Amino acid sequence: MAKKATTLKTHCHSCGSRQRDLMTEIDAREVLCLLREHDFDSRSEIERLSGLSSSRVSAAVALLIKKGLVESLVQSKSKGGRRSGLLRINAGYGHVIGVDIGGSNLRIALADMNGTVLGKWSTSTKRTSSPDMVVEQIRKGVKYLLQQTSVPARSLVAVAAGAPGITDGDAGVVLATSYLKGWKDVPLRRLLESALRIPAAVENDVKIAAIGENWLGAARGIRNFVFLAIGTGIAAGIFVNGQLLHGTEWAAGEVGYMIVPGTPETAAKRGTPGSLESVLGGDGIQEQWWHSRNRRRAPLPPELSATEIFESVQTGDRLAQSVLERSARILAYAVYNISVVLNCSLFVLGGGVGMSAALCGAAQRILDQYSEPACPKLTISSLGPDAQLIGAIRLALLTAESRIWSQDVRRGAGPSRLAPSHPS
């Protein structure tokens, strides 16, 4: 009996130890997240913001320092005479790669573990749009950035890529896209891991832009918002309770197919624009412009882009004003309908058309008339065209940290078999 009691006691002690280690790891993740978002003058500030006790913060910080993710700086004297160590993320722990795959361009950024961009590289994908060719271009771009920044390849710890189209982030597969020929059920994560020999994550380009806006952009720290990208097409990245919304078929946010007053009621056919984007997308706005000119038999000006049409309003062009007003009303209807479903008060506008101050202002004036149950606020992306790259860097950092917590990272090791941490 004594032997069994001793064995049971040892087993319980081991379980308790594992539970403490798990709790410390959870606390460490929380502290690391806070260090990415804030500058702290003392550990007491971390305790206050995190709600953790002094002993738990100390244990979490000790673990972060042990893993090399955080470093302690010079000691500073607090008002009470007690000296508190200043902390910061160890930017030199490793490096990550962020990739933005567009329908016509490919952009790559190299960043340190603090998210600071060290270099960028871009190229055209018009003649090299097959999956294998794009991945090869990414490999070449990464090699170029490493050479230009004198960063060793062995310091790379993760890569994340945003791709146009419906993307299964868990499986790392681009399911379908109309912007890249030959892209259907493409195992992009596996291809990237094979080419770069580091853990990879894959996400839809608009959703990854929403990650960027939530991290460093116009929606920084906001738990409920919609990033609405309006370009040739229209799509949304939706944050609900601090989590990115994907949907059961990974198609959440495909709002270009919404039907609102003023848009076609016929169902969209495969490969054709959805109802909303057929009117409010860049091509749809240009079509509105041409139809307005033809109906009024006005002399046709040189071909104008959607943003140029909106800018013509400032010169007093009445036709441009009518196109702007119709576009703004349709946008306001779409935003209002989304807001009453999600109870979301902030919409960040991005994309070539969405960044128009004239469109944003006109749509907001219409929304102000619909204040019940709440009036959504529109704002323009503060990251602009870099939202996708910033979001990719953030996702790469999350992927690297997930691997670090799951097992010690062996520099130069092969691709991870673990699914990366993915906002869901």
For residues 143 and 190, state if they share a domain. yes
Q: What is the pLDDT of residues 185-221, one digit of tens each?
A: 999 999 999 999 999 999 999 999 999 999 999 999 8
Q: Verify that 154 and 111 share a domain, yes or no.
A: yes
Q: What is the CATH number of the domain that holds 76?
A: 1.10.10.10
398 & 369 share domain: no
Q: Look at residue 295 and tell me if it is in a domain.
A: yes
Measured from the Cβ of residue 178, the count of other Cβ atoms closer than 10 Å reads 14
- Tell me whether residue 414 is in a domain: no
* Same domain as 205, residue 222: no
Do 331 and 195 fall into the same domain?
no
CATH of the domain at 258: 3.30.420.40
167 and 69 in a common domain: no
pLDDT digits (tens, 9 = 90+) for 254-265: 999 999 999 999
> What is the domain extent for residue 17?
2-89
Domain count, the chain: 3
Structural domain includes residue 420: no
In this structure, are 237 and 282 located in the same domain? yes
- In the DSSP assignment, the letter for residue 252 is T
54 with 177, same domain? no
- Which segments of the chain have a pLDDT < 70? 1-16, 74-85, 270-271, 295-302, 407-424
Same domain, 366 and 222: yes
Q: How far is CA 201 from CA 204, 297, 348, in A?
A: 11, 53, 24
Residue 413 lies in a domain: no
Predicted structure pTM score:
0.86
Single-letter code of the amino acid located at 110: L
179 in the same domain as 122: yes
Do residues 43 and 98 both lie within one domain?
no
Helical residues (DSSP H) of 165-240, grouped into ranges: 188-196, 205-216
pLDDT at position 417 is 30
Task: Answer whether residue 161 is part of any domain.
Answer: yes
Residue 275 contacts residue 263 (beta carbons within 8 Å): yes
